[in-house]
Structure 1
Amino acid sequence: MGTAISLDLADDLPTARLRELTGDVFAWLREVDARFSTYRADSEVCRFDRGEVPLSEASGDLRTVLERCADLWGATDGFFDAYATGRLDPSGYVKGWAAQVASDRLVAAGAPNHCLNAGGDVRVRGHSASGRPWRVGVRHPWDESSACLVLTGTDLAVATSGVYERGHHVLDPRRGVPAVGLRSVTVVGPDLGVADAYATAAVAMGAAGIGWLDRLPGHLHAVITDDARCLHSPRLPLLPD
């Protein structure tokens, strides 16, 4: 999926079962990569975008993602736009969605205590092996070796969208130019795919994204602006200093 992915299973299960669960998670993520990668000409999403796969013949996963991206376009007033670059690219939703599905499957399979980190989009459930709530670090946007915030909890979906690695690459879909104003946006909510899309949308809004996040029901956030201000929801589950 073009990023590093790690999985921490904290349940006291037989080694063979842990290996089986791990294999299932990474097999699913490889399947998602094969289907949705915009860098692979033979992926289903690229073939669909070229008109080679009609909607009636698309996989259930692709139809689900297209429907949810359409819903998110409406929920974000068009700032989450899978066609912002002029071609279909649902990556701003897919990575979080794939990790959320993997986490849900782990819970259903009897592994309710885990942490799945897909390139900074993190889904934690239950407790770590120490019995304590999980800790999720939010990368410092100017220092890749440190965290600017650390969140803690037992059921968190934490998605971060930032411009610190690829520059201002998120487009403002209304103007068709790279959005500026926000260096990093972290959204915390119940579903990682939705949180991922909301974080992307807020970056696309620029400075206006701060007010939009403040009004967003059911979600918390942390924002680092281009001029190094850190703003966050009062109830954000931060680890005490």
Structure 2
Amino acid sequence: MRQRHTIDAWGTKLYFDCDGESFDSDAAFAEIAAFVSLIDDLFSTYKPDSVVSQLRDGRMQIGDAPADVIEVANLCAVAKDLTEGAFDPWAVPGGFDPSGYVKGWAADKCADIAQEHGAQRVQINFAGDLALRGGFNDAGVIKPWSIGISNPDNTQEVVKVVEIFDGAIATSGDYERGAHIHDPYTGMIAIGARSASVIGPDAGLCDALATALMVAGKDGGKWFGLPELASYSAWVVNRNENTAWSVND
């Protein structure tokens, strides 16, 4: 049975759309809600006693952090290397802030939880980071999820549609939260792109790549020639032109 659910968390709304003949929605959403709360306790930069806040002010060292935080830190290091430092959660005001990775990472984890409880088709939307599994059931026909990318100057206008059965898409931009992504090279606000969407198998890495493209703009296109990113693609709106570009599309 198809079930839709919303959780208010992290200062936003988290949306779930799950379907499966044997899907136990009550158990799934209870476990997901507990996990989402845990993620806030671990990674919030607004909670003074979160693990990340303790790392940022030196009360804790990464080796003493819980396993989830160590996992995310290691994955952030990989993303930093792949993007030549354009994604660098250690080079932000206040210290280590993995927010540009953890939303996507958590979306994938929640999709796993839903599947463990019988969901065959899953869409999870964490404020622009989507984890997608199995397509959706349209009157008995399984079709890919159709995800629209908005015009950053008019968010009601869809300028591109991406179809995904299994995978993820993450979009970064300055049109909802304002200019909030910093350039780790300069410490200033990122000016490489107006918005960036990345499609691939891993939502956390999609999240990090989209953030990095906001910094690097067109210069980030070369990253997608790396073997590690062969299954990823990007669609980017340029900063000062009414144009867009894509790679591996």
Same fold (TM over 0.5): yes
110, 115, 133: which one aligns with 1:102: 110
Amino acid at match of 1:231: W
Alignment of 1:93-132 (within 5 A): 93-130=101-138, 131-132=142-143
State the partner residue of 1:239.
Answer: none
Amino acid at match of 2:230: P
Alignment coverage as a number of residue pairs: 233
51, 63, 86: which one aligns with 2:58: 51
User: Matches of 1:192 and 1:41 in 2, distance apart?
Assistant: 27
Contact in 2 for aligned 1:122/1:159 (Cα 8 Å): yes
Contact in 2 for aligned 1:179/1:206 (Cα 8 Å): no
State the partner residue of 1:9.
Answer: 18
State the partner residue of 2:187.
Answer: 176
Q: For residue 137 of structure 2, give the secondary structure of its aligned residue in structure 1.
A: coil
Amino acid at match of 2:22: L
Give the unaligned 5+ runs of structure 1: 237-241
Q: For residue 174 of structure 1, give the secondary structure of its aligned residue in structure 2.
A: coil
Q: For residue 97 of structure 2, give the secondary structure of its aligned residue in structure 1.
A: coil
How far did 1:146 drift? Answer: 2.9
Q: For residue 231 of structure 2, give the secondary structure of its aligned residue in structure 1.
A: coil
More divergent stretch after superposition (24-33 vs 91-100): 24-33
Contact in 2 for aligned 1:3/1:119 (Cα 8 Å): yes
Amino acid at match of 1:44: V
How much is the aligned-residue C-alpha RMSD, in angstroms?
1.8
More divergent stretch after superposition (147-156 vs 115-124): 147-156
Give the unaligned 5+ runs of structure 2: 1-9
Contact in 1 for aligned 2:104/2:204 (Cα 8 Å): yes
Question: Identity over the aligned pairs, expressed in percent?
Answer: 34
Contact in 2 for aligned 1:210/1:223 (Cα 8 Å): no
How far did 1:57 drift? Answer: 2.5
1:223 aligns with 2:236: yes
State the partner residue of 1:66.
Answer: 73
User: Matches of 1:207 and 1:132 in 2, distance apart?
Assistant: 33
Amino acid at match of 2:25: L
How far did 1:162 drift? Answer: 0.9
Amino acid at match of 1:89: D
Q: For residue 152 of structure 1, give the secondary structure of its aligned residue in structure 2.
A: strand
Contact in 2 for aligned 1:96/1:159 (Cα 8 Å): yes
TM-score by length of 1: 0.89
User: Matches of 1:140 and 1:24 in 2, distance apart?
Assistant: 35
How far did 1:144 drift? Answer: 2.1
Distance 1:228 1:202, change over 3 A: same
How far did 1:124 drift? Answer: 1.0
State the partner residue of 2:25.
Answer: 18
How far did 1:105 drift? Answer: 2.6
User: Matches of 1:47 and 1:60 in 2, distance apart?
Assistant: 15
Greater fraction strand: 2
Distance 1:73 1:198, change over 3 A: same
State the partner residue of 1:38.
Answer: 45
Alignment of 1:74-93 (within 5 A): 74-86=81-93, 87-93=95-101
How far did 1:213 drift? Answer: 4.2
